[in-house]
């Protein structure tokens, strides 16, 4: 059975360390604190992801660092296209608000706009997991069937 590989920043890294048996050990390599979309696009050896299912959650650090929405979405589009050429199945997650977002209206607006961008990638090869919705709803997604009840 193929295990899910997490790709993302410190949020995914914490998820991996909380439930290490639920995910592929490759997740350690692909979950990097402070990672941005560009970092994931340039720095990782995506060939290692062949024949794996992937859960991608990235973009929080781009927003916090003040990257422009068109740039983040453009880089995300390239990353998704590249991952789809190597993996079996791709799940991409919308972003959850962090405490920094609640203190800054501009960050909150950018987060919502970025989540809209993410949702536009939904198709038969790329499944969007709407984590910004209430947590109990997201448990119906197959990607989370490997986990114990989180929320």
What is the C-alpha separation between 51 and 62, in angstroms, rounded? 28
Pairing relation of β-strands 53-57 and 4-8? parallel
Average pLDDT for residues 74-84, to the nearest whole number?
91
Say what the pLDDT of residue 3 is. Answer: 79
pLDDT tens for each residue of 80-99: 998 898 888 899 999 877 77
Q: How confident is residue 150, by pLDDT bands cut at 50, 70 and 90?
A: very low
pLDDT tens for each residue of 26-54: 998 889 888 888 877 766 677 788 888 99
Average pLDDT for residues 97-107, to the nearest whole number?
74
CA distance to 57, 81, 86, 93, 102, per residue, from 128 (Å): 10, 14, 18, 6, 24
3 state SS of 128: strand
pLDDT tens for each residue of 117-149: 999 999 888 988 887 665 445 445 455 554 444
Element (H, E) at 89: strand 89-93
Instruction: Confirm if 119 and 130 have CB atoms less than 8 A apart.
Output: yes
Say what the pLDDT of residue 15 is. Answer: 86
User: Quick check: 71 pLDDT over 90?
Assistant: yes
Domains of the chain: 4-146 (3.40.50.1110)
pTM of the complete model: 0.82
């Amino acid at each position: 059975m193929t295990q899910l590989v997490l790709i993302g920043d410190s949020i995914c890294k914490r998820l991996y360390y909380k439930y290490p048996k639920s995910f592929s050990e490759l997740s350690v390599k692909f979950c990097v604190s402070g990672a941005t979309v560009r970092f994931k696009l340039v720095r990782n050896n995506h060939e290692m992801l062949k024949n794996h299912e992937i859960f991608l959650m990235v973009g929080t650090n781009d927003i916090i660092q003040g990257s422009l929405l068109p740039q983040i979405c453009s880089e995300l589009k390239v990353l998704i296209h590249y991952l789809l050429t190597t993996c079996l199945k791709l799940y991409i997650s919308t972003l959850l608000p962090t405490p920094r977002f609640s203190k800054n209206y501009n960050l909150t607006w950018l987060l919502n706009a970025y989540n809209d961008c993410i949702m536009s990638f939904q198709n038969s090869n790329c499944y969007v997991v709407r984590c910004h919705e209430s947590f109990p709803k997201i448990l119906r997604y197959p990607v989370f069937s490997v986990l114990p009840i989180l929320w």
